[in-house]
Amino acid sequence: MKNIAILGSTGSIGTQTLQVIDANPERFNVEVLTANNQVELLAQQARKFKPNMVVIGNESKYSELTELLKDEDIKVYAGSEAIAQVVQTSTIDVVVTAMVGYSGLLPTINAIKAGKTIALANKETLVVAGDLINRLVEEYKVAILPVDSEHSAIFQCLVGEHNNPVEKILLTASGGPFRGRDYEYLKSVTAAQALKHPNWNMGAKVTIDSASMMNKGFEAIEAKWLFGVKPSQIEVLVHPQSVVHSMVQFQDGNIKAQLGVPDMRLPIQYALTYPERVHSEIPRLDFGIYSDLTFEKPDITTFRNLGLAYEAMNRGGNAPCVLNAANEIMVAAFLKDEISFTAMSDVIERTMEKVSYIVQPTLEDYIASDQEGRRIAKEEFLNLKSKILQFKIKRRVTRQRASWG
């Protein structure tokens, strides 16, 4: 019986992790659940799975959560510091890091220092501070088991291949809802359109990242740290069917691939039960349905975020941290219809150019770089909005003068 802590239990990965646990009650016990805002869903999960502790990140919702769980013997806490602290609880065996974005970094660091096995779904942890995380993993002798379908696939392909050098990692991407579209089309797409992913059911932030291909850039950076390869050894392939989750090419030319239906419960279960493979009721891959598997090169000219991610990965230091900070600000703005889809890349690129570069950052440097990246991204965003407004006013005046003859 493994005691599980789920950071971000109300999100897409968190809820699917609970489905896996619910299907295997003899194997898993829920020890801790955390969420940021969804207090009612968190309370429902707590009443069903009876964890020892729950934490709501938004401190203003503490009283509401306490009231919802007043009849339960469950400890209730609030705030980001509480989330970072509960992962150190001695009874926890595995911490599933399913929080979104930079917020997952400090809890993951604390969990590593507490000797917990990490089931990593928060890719931003390695994007922001991959070098630091790897050093801590080595120091505290803990395991990081990837939950992302692509990294789980690579991990599975590498099982039993410890002494065989990897020539290349082939990281597959669905291409998102705008695959095949040109730059002009992308200028006018809306958040509602970008949120319609063709294959996967994910949270809003990850879905937008997938549409812009920033998510694949993040996954490339994550793969570098997880598997100890160079950026030049990571190749992205667009695979619209999302059946081949990724591949590994070895030095003899052979390629191993991991296939399965596009269902996140498969990599989640593998991470929780590794090294065992236990039975599941998840649908099997039917090659009669998926008889046409295709692959193509990504369009980096149109989807600039992928190129920016590779640029940050090649530069190293705090560059990926800045990339992530600017992207989080831009995705939040795009979801509010405050910026265009293509302008996100413009702001991210300018932010990367302006933030101070640090070759070998410490944790304090990463924290400062994240803050500086967010500040500059907001400034660049406001400057862009001002220019657009001035242009619209100028164009309106020109049209009015033309109408006067």
Other beta carbons within 10 angstroms of residue 296's beta carbon come to 13
pLDDT at 392 (0 to 100): 54
Pairing assessment for the beta strands 28-35 and 53-56 based on DSSP bridges:
parallel
pLDDT digits (tens, 9 = 90+) for 26-50: 999 999 999 999 999 999 999 999 9
Residue 375's pLDDT band, with cuts at 50, 70 and 90, is very high
- Contact 169/223 with Cβ under 8 angstroms? yes
Q: Average model confidence (pLDDT) for the chain? A: 94
SS3 160: coil
**Rounded distance, CA 398 to CA 302, Å?**
32
Which residue type is seen at 257? Answer: A
**Rounded distance, CA 183 to CA 164, Å?**
41
**Rounded distance, CA 143 to CA 145, Å?**
6
Residue 399's pLDDT band, with cuts at 50, 70 and 90, is low
**Rounded distance, CA 326 to CA 336, Å?**
16
pLDDT digits (tens, 9 = 90+) for 217-232: 999 999 999 999 999 9
pLDDT at 398 (0 to 100): 58
Pairing assessment for the beta strands 244-250 and 166-173 based on DSSP bridges:
antiparallel
Residue 400's pLDDT band, with cuts at 50, 70 and 90, is low
Q: Is the pLDDT of residue 250 over 80?
A: yes
- Contact 118/144 with Cβ under 8 angstroms? yes
pLDDT at 100 (0 to 100): 85
Which of these, 312, 298, 338, 321, lies nearest to 213 by C-alpha position? 298
DSSP 213: T
Residue 401's pLDDT band, with cuts at 50, 70 and 90, is low
Residue 101's pLDDT band, with cuts at 50, 70 and 90, is confident
Q: Is the pLDDT of residue 313 over 60?
A: yes
pLDDT at 258 (0 to 100): 98
Mean pLDDT of 168-195: 94
Q: Is the pLDDT of residue 361 over 60?
A: yes
- Contact 334/287 with Cβ under 8 angstroms? no
pLDDT at 75 (0 to 100): 98
* Phi, psi values for residue 95, rounded to 5°: -110, 115
Residue 95's pLDDT band, with cuts at 50, 70 and 90, is very high
The H or E element that residue 7 is part of is strand 2-7
pLDDT digits (tens, 9 = 90+) for 152-174: 999 999 999 989 999 999 999 99
Mean pLDDT of 331-352: 95
Is there a cis peptide before residue 275, judged by omega within 30 degrees of 0?
A: yes
Torsion angle defined by CA atoms of residues 270, 151, 171 and 192, in that order, rounded to the nearest 10 degrees: 90
pLDDT at 390 (0 to 100): 59
Q: Is the pLDDT of residue 332 over 70?
A: yes
Which of these, 304, 322, 302, 297, lies nearest to 312 by C-alpha position? 322
SS (H, E, C) 92-137: CCEEEECCCHHHHHHHHHHHHHCCCEEEECCCHHHHHHHHHHHHHH
Token digits for 294?
A: 């295709």
Q: Is the pLDDT of residue 393 over 90?
A: no
Token digits for 373?
A: 């990246």
Length, in residues, of the chain: 405
**Rounded distance, CA 96 to CA 4, Å?**
7
> Structure pTM?
0.92
Which of these, 212, 174, 214, lies nearest to 193 by C-alpha position? 212
Token digits for 159?
A: 């099982």
Q: Is the pLDDT of residue 197 over 90?
A: no
Residue 314's pLDDT band, with cuts at 50, 70 and 90, is very high
pLDDT at 386 (0 to 100): 72
**Rounded distance, CA 152 to CA 123, Å?**
12
Residue 196's pLDDT band, with cuts at 50, 70 and 90, is confident
Mean pLDDT of 50-68: 97
Residue 119's pLDDT band, with cuts at 50, 70 and 90, is very high
**Which residues lie below 8 Å from residue 319, measured CB to CB, with a gap of 6+?**
311, 312, 313, 352, 357
Give percent of the chain above pLDDT 70: 95
pLDDT digits (tens, 9 = 90+) for 349-358: 999 999 999 9
pLDDT at 396 (0 to 100): 61
Pairing assessment for the beta strands 144-146 and 234-238 based on DSSP bridges:
unpaired
